[in-house]
């Protein structure tokens, strides 16, 4: 009768040690893939927040660019919608939390966001130097989410 086993009785299959090593290698690979996916998702969310923040800052920029050039501040009551601003200077000190459209309606999805505007007159020949009588202003718009700055936009605008 002929035996089906090889003469030297070589083992067919894997040892326990080989199986454990393979499991460790596969588990490490899965953990690394999971961490990579997590980092990619955090990066995607961060990019979306930055894009939204830049958009919120640009909205105010566009309104300031289109605002009448007046050299005097209109005395507006707190909470006056931006659509009633009469001068570029009316934007100074604007703070919104959450951000609102020009008519004063909160922008949907921005409940945890805020934005603020600061204006200062600067010397046209040295933009770093304040000049109280200058016809040139520097406008800075800062957009935050949960108290963390997401976007900052600074630009210059003439009052004349």
pTM greater than 0.85 (yes/no): no
Do 143 and 53 contact (CB within 8 A), yes or no?
yes
Rounded to the nearest angstrom, the gap between the alpha carbon of residue 138 and the centroid of all alpha carbons in its chain is: 22
Q: Are 147 and 58 in contact (CB under 8 A)?
A: no
pLDDT number for residue 109? 93
Neighbours of 15 (CB within 10 A): 9
Beta bridge partners of 117: 141
87, pLDDT greater than 70: yes
Domain range summary for the chain, segments of one domain joined by +: 16-158
> What is the per-residue pLDDT across 13-70, written as a single tens digit (0 to 9) for each?
889 998 999 999 999 999 988 888 888 888 888 889 999 999 999 999 999 999 888 7
């Amino acid at each position: 009768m002929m035996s089906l086993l090889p003469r030297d009785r070589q083992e067919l299959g894997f040892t326990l040690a080989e199986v454990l090593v393979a499991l460790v290698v596969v588990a490490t690979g899965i953990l690394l893939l999971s961490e990579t996916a997590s980092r990619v998702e955090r990066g995607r969310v961060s990019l979306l927040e930055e894009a939204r923040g830049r958009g919120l800052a640009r909205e105010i920029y566009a309104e300031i660019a289109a605002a009448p050039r007046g050299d005097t501040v209109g005395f507006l009551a707190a909470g006056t919608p931006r659509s009633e601003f009469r001068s570029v200077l009316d934007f100074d000190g604007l703070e919104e939390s959450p951000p609102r459209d020009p008519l004063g309606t909160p922008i949907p999805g921005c409940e945890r966001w805020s934005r603020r505007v600061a204006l200062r007159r600067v010397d046209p020949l040295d933009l770093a130097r304040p000049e109280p009588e200058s016809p040139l202003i520097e406008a800075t718009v800062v957009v935050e989410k949960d108290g963390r700055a997401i976007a900052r936009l600074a630009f210059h605008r003439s009052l004349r």
